[in-house]
Amino acid sequence: MDQYCALILMSLFSPAIESLRDLQRACALDKVRKRLGVGRASLGSLSESVAIFDPGPLKQSAIELGHTITSRPNPRFAAVGQRITAVDGTVIETVKRVAELSWTPKTKGRHLSAYRLHTHFEVLSGKAVRIDATSANPGGEADERAVLQRTIEADRCYILDRGYISYGLWNAINGAGSSYVCRSSDRTLATVRHVNQLTEADREASVISDEIVDLGWKAKHRTRPDHPVRLICVAVKPHESYRGRQGPHCDGVLRLVTNRLDLPAELIAEIYRLRWLIEMFFRTFKQMLGCKHLFSDKHNGVEIQAYCAMIVCMLILIYTGERPSRAMYQMVWYYLIGLASLKELDAFIKTRR
């Protein structure tokens, strides 16, 4: 497993390695085997061995690395008092298409085999702290709300998008001693109990209203919030689609639901804005680190590749002091293939700081 992980880590820095066969060819090279301390492996060995590898120790290594990265003090969010964590999922296709995987519909009637990576991302420190792999089928135990409900931790402020609308999930988060800021739908059913007065800072942040509400209809919703809920409306630009693709409609009002009654409305709106950082992490994960496709079609192999990618991002943070960027990624790759010396890499890192 050590040798397999070393090869995966190398592939994350190599734009030339795009498949398991590319990885097999690389480990046949004398310099690669000598530098990484790996042996020659057949394509079958690389493909089948992950079935008996336990990704648990690799996950623990990622967690230990994460503990060495601390959030930079940000007075603006000090009042939150919890680790602000964006949660979302991204679908990644497997390179090998097999019928054993779950099938998800794609455009024009075609299908693809894929996994969904449910990711917890601490936005202030710039690190992913947890990734859970499930089938891409959004139902049952693989549903993003069900996955989050199984993995809730105390003392976190979860930033959630519309896919996480669930009264049961919100109750579980509140019961675990955490909080949430979740975007609600345009058709939110709410009965106003109290109207909070807006401050000048709220109005400057485009906050329209700030209310304590009861959500849902008693006759329709069996499960309802068992704690006080706050509904904050923010004026945004209305849209029908996103970058030419069909997406959720927005009527010009961003509706945020939260159990934090103590924070200013403008700060709640700013916390939700931080959710975009997890999309930047997915871009790094898929585009820069080459994880748009997965080398393995087995669950263990998927988690191994995901945690290796997390480790790469954390190592870049630890040794360079900045989040992974294309310039830093290229310089590390130049060093690994011998085009740049360690001295030149160190000098480049210092200039970035």
**Over residues 283-288, mean pLDDT:** 79
Res 343 pLDDT > 90: yes
Sequence letter at residue 272:
Y
Find out whether 115 and 146 touch, Cβ atoms under 8 Å. Answer: no
34 located within any domain: no
When pLDDT is cut at 50, 70 and 90, the band that residue 249 belongs to is: low
Can you give the pLDDT at residue 258?
95
Between these two residues, 177 and 294, which has the higher pLDDT value?
177
Structure tokens at 67: 């503990």
**Over residues 337-344, mean pLDDT:** 91
Other Cβ atoms closer than 10 A to 91: 13
pLDDT, tens digit, 9 for 90 and up, residues 154-173: 999 999 998 899 999 999 99
Can you give the pLDDT at residue 284?
81
Can you give the pLDDT at residue 236?
86
User: Taken in order 304, 117, 156, 143, is the CA torsion positive or negative?
Assistant: negative
Q: Which residue has the tokens 């800021």?
A: 181
Res 52 pLDDT > 70: yes
Q: For residue 2, what is the enclosing H or E element?
A: helix 2-12
Can you give the pLDDT at residue 92?
74
248 located within any domain: no
Residue 303, phi then psi, degrees to nearest 5: -65, -35
128 located within any domain: yes
Find out whether 311 and 61 touch, Cβ atoms under 8 Å. Answer: yes
User: Taken in order 326, 313, 93, 247, is the CA torsion positive or negative?
Assistant: negative
Provide the 8-state DSSP code for 131: E
Can you give the pLDDT at residue 96?
43
Can you give the pLDDT at residue 225?
87
Q: Rounded CA gap, 261 and 278, in Å?
A: 25
Can you give the pLDDT at residue 204?
93
Q: Rounded CA gap, 172 and 182, in Å?
A: 14
pLDDT, tens digit, 9 for 90 and up, residues 83-117: 999 999 888 766 544 333 444 444 444 445 678 88
The CA-CA-CA angle for residues 27, 33, 35, to 5°, reads 130
How would DSSP label each residue in 61-128? HHHHHHHT--PPP-GGGGGG-SEEEEEEEEEEEESS--TTS-EEE-GGG-EEEEEEEEEEEETTTTEE
2 located within any domain: no
Give the range among 42-46, 207-211, 230-234, 315-319 with minimum mean pLDDT. 315-319
Q: Total domain count for the chain? A: 1
Q: Rounded CA gap, 347 and 345, in Å?
A: 5
285 located within any domain: yes
31 located within any domain: no
**Residues near 214 by beta carbon (within 8 Å), at least 6 away in sequence:** 190, 191, 193, 224, 225, 229
The boundaries of the domain holding residue 152 are 55-161+275-319
Integer CA distances (angstroms), 140 to 115, 135, 302, in order: 14, 10, 20
Burial of 45 (0-12, 13-18, 19+ CB in 10 A): middle
108 located within any domain: yes
127 located within any domain: yes
Integer CA distances (angstroms), 302 to 9, 117, 120, 292, in order: 13, 9, 16, 12
